[in-house]
Amino acid sequence: MKATAVAGANIALIKYWGNRDEALRLPMNSSLSITLDTLLSTSTVMFDGDLEEDEISIDGTPAEAAVRSRVVEHLDRLRRWAGSEERARVASYNNFPRGAGLAASASGFAALTAAATRALGLSPDERELSSWARTGSGSAARSILGGYVEWRAADRHPDSYAEQIAPPEHWELLDCIAIVSTVPKSVSSAEGHRLAPTSPLYRARLAQVEAALPQMRQAILERDFQRLGELAEAEALSLHAIMWTSRPSLMYWMPETVRVLAAVRERRREGLSAYFTLDAGPNVHVLTTPEHGEQVSRRLAQVEGVQQVKVARPGPGVHLVEQHLF
């Protein structure tokens, strides 16, 4: 059977960085994100007893070795669950650049998990789907759900899944993404998670996250934008402090990144509601309110080195569609 699913990328307000179990992607800390409506991955999966090996294409070309083996491993986990040995044909398409810290692995593995489980005849509930998506890419656990989403850390596979804390329509925030590079990063998030505990600051970060997460959840439920923004900026800087102080040190920022961060703070002094956050890449997500959205994107586009500004809002969780990619 053939199935196709679409999932949105997500931007973490409280970040996942470091695993307690690397193979199962059980995270050290809980995290919280917004699933985005315009950064989408589509995945079509068909299992076929006649195939000798899995055929995997991404954005129209055969997947490179590292990506391929990660997808095959994920399919193997789902096949074991379903008791199937059939190989699969998989096509995946992203409407935004991959590997540049825009969370293509989150939306990609969320869509792949939903399509593959359906194609295998499984009917997981949301929690199971989220837990299984997590084993492909941690942040994919959150892209299963729409709107504002919390993924809890736990010691066992079935207990670490994401749940919606508020639907997309609860609060229409804007994420204006200033793209300064679309070159895939040279060090993967997977490697970054491995390095996290080598930072002497990591213990302090985990304590900080534990305190910040309930505050962020509260800011969302109360629609307190200033609180959300201040917490999000502090959190992103804490994440990057870990990256810089890991051994070896990781640095995802580019000169253009710093220019955007400075511009956001300058615009804020002028009265615009805008706060930044960044994941494992040089591109900057600028959170703002609908009233200031147009002005924020216009001002970001004027910053030297910004190639493009993409605007996203809270969007739906993963869903199956009838239009297949093949």
Binding site for ligand DP6 (CB under 6 A): 12, 15-17, 25, 31, 105-106, 137-139, 189-190, 193, 279-280
- Of 46 and 284, nearer to ligand DP6 (C-beta) is 284
Q: Work out how close the CB of 4 gets to ligand DP6 at its nearest, in angstroms, rounded to a whole number.
A: 22
- Of 234 and 272, nearer to ligand DP6 (C-beta) is 234
The rounded distance, in Å, linking the Cα atoms of 171 and 259 is 29
Phi–psi pair at 138, nearest 5 degrees:
-50, -50
Q: Work out how close the CB of 145 gets to ligand DP6 at its nearest, in angstroms, rounded to a whole number.
A: 14
Q: Work out how close the CB of 120 gets to ligand DP6 at its nearest, in angstroms, rounded to a whole number.
A: 22
- Of 57 and 188, nearer to ligand DP6 (C-beta) is 188
Q: Work out how close the CB of 14 gets to ligand DP6 at its nearest, in angstroms, rounded to a whole number.
A: 8
- Of 24 and 272, nearer to ligand DP6 (C-beta) is 24
Show the tokens assigned to 133: 């998506």
Report residue 48 CA to chain centroid gap. Answer: 30
Q: Work out how close the CB of 190 gets to ligand DP6 at its nearest, in angstroms, rounded to a whole number.
A: 4
SS3 call for 23: coil
Q: Work out how close the CB of 137 gets to ligand DP6 at its nearest, in angstroms, rounded to a whole number.
A: 3
Give the pairing of strands 87-94 and 55-58.
parallel
The rounded distance, in Å, linking the Cα atoms of 191 and 226 is 33
Q: Smallest Cα–Cα separation from 267: which of 282, 248, 246, 286?
A: 286
Q: Smallest Cα–Cα separation from 240: which of 210, 273, 207, 284?
A: 284
- In 137-187, which residue ranges form alpha helices assigned H by DSSP? 140-143
- Residue 214's contacts (CB-CB under 8 Å, 6 or more residues apart) are none
Q: Work out how close the CB of 270 gets to ligand DP6 at its nearest, in angstroms, rounded to a whole number.
A: 29
The rounded distance, in Å, linking the Cα atoms of 249 and 150 is 29
Q: Smallest Cα–Cα separation from 81: which of 122, 119, 131?
A: 122
- Of 46 and 280, nearer to ligand DP6 (C-beta) is 280
- Is-contact 216 171, C-beta < 8 A? no
- Of 47 and 276, nearer to ligand DP6 (C-beta) is 276
- Of 115 and 232, nearer to ligand DP6 (C-beta) is 232
